[in-house]
Amino acid sequence: MITTNDFKTGLTIKYEGDIYQVIEFQHVKPGKGSAFVRSKLRNLRTNSVIDKTFNSGLKIETAMIEKNPMQYLYSSGETHVFMNNDTYEQLELHESILEGKLEFIQEGMEIKIISYEKEILGIELPDKVTLEIVSTPGGVRGNTASNATKEALTNTGLKLSVPLFINEGDKIVVSTETGKYDTRYKE
């Protein structure tokens, strides 16, 4: 148990039967009345975000979240298979749990499976991933306006805007947070 005075960004709590992660918080001490904590919480089961105000000093149960590193093996229809590299135990996840993250995952990639008391809540990707461009139109000569971009398709199915100098077969680094081009991959 902790109090709302102990809130930190990234802390996971159990509140009203659900598991939440603290995204933002602010301690407020008005001129009149008692202090309170205004917070923004992400439900780890539904991924929805709520705003919640707690009285200062209120006791809340912490949720012990496990993050186990696993390797992505392959896709089998709507399920995706991951393997624990230590125990070789395999885990199948439905694509609904991986929604919005599948376009960053490649075979052999190591990710973290987030769980709470044996319940799989989702996955955590690295901040940046390297993807290969499989389709993009050629750059147009003379089109050198600053920040000129074109559409591209990666080997995982991600569509994004890339600079004109990127060609098919090039490897690029993409931010998993924003889904945007970061830089060209250098070996």
The CATH number, out of the four listed (3.90.120.10, 3.40.50.720, 2.40.50.140, 3.40.50.300), of the domain defined by the range 128-184: 2.40.50.140
Whether residue 47 has pLDDT greater than 90: no
Query: Do 128-184 and 66-124 fall under one CATH topology?
Result: yes
Q: Which residues contact 159 (CB under 8 A, 6 or more apart)?
A: 151, 152, 153
Greatest pairwise CA separation for the chain in angstroms: 66
How high is the pLDDT of residue 110?
Answer: 93
Given CATH 2.40.110.10, say whether it is the number of domain 2-62: no
Our CA angle for 57, 20, 113, nearest 5°, is 140
Whether residue 143 has pLDDT greater than 60: no
Q: How large is the average pLDDT for residues 47-69?
A: 91
How high is the pLDDT of residue 142?
Answer: 58
Our CA angle for 126, 130, 134, nearest 5°, is 140
How high is the pLDDT of residue 62?
Answer: 93
Whether residue 144 has pLDDT greater than 80: no
Token pair recorded at residue 176? 């998993």
First to last CA, the chain: 48
User: Can you tell me the distance from the alpha carbon of 176 to that of 155, in angstroms, rounded to the nearest whole number?
Assistant: 15
The ranges assigned to domains in the chain are 2-62, 66-124, 128-184
Fold of 66-124: OB fold (Dihydrolipoamide Acetyltransferase, E2P) (2.40.50)
How high is the pLDDT of residue 100?
Answer: 82
Helices vs strands, H then E, count in the chain: 0, 16
How high is the pLDDT of residue 132?
Answer: 92
pLDDT, tens digit (0-9, with 9 covering 90-100), for 79-131:
999 999 889 899 998 888 888 888 999 899 999 998 998 888 888 899 999 99
How high is the pLDDT of residue 54?
Answer: 92
Whether residue 14 has pLDDT greater than 90: yes
Whether residue 140 has pLDDT greater than 80: no
How high is the pLDDT of residue 40?
Answer: 95
Q: How large is the average pLDDT for residues 73-84?
A: 90
Instruction: Give the residue ranges of DSSP H helices in the chain.
Output: none
Average pLDDT, the chain: 88
Whether residue 63 has pLDDT greater than 60: yes
